[in-house]
Amino acid sequence: MAIRSAKIDQKADLIWAIADKLTGPYKPHEYGDVILPLTVI
């Protein structure tokens, strides 16, 4: 169970790292234009 939790935490950390990088070039009202396509990918 701990291994599964660690994998989920790693994936969540990756997603948050990408989100942190996107906050620089995009304004808050533009987040939706970027997040939905990335979620589909």
d(CA 29, CA 20): 15
pLDDT of residue 15: 85
CB 26 within 8 A of CB 34: yes
The pLDDT tens digits of the residues spanning 1-41 come to 567 788 889 998 988 888 777 777 777 787 777 777 767 76
pLDDT of residue 27: 79
pLDDT of residue 1: 53
pLDDT of residue 2: 67
Q: What ranges do the domains of the chain cover?
A: 4-36
pLDDT of residue 5: 83
Nearest to 25, CA basis, from 38, 17, 34, 16: 34
d(CA 35, CA 41): 10
pLDDT of residue 10: 92
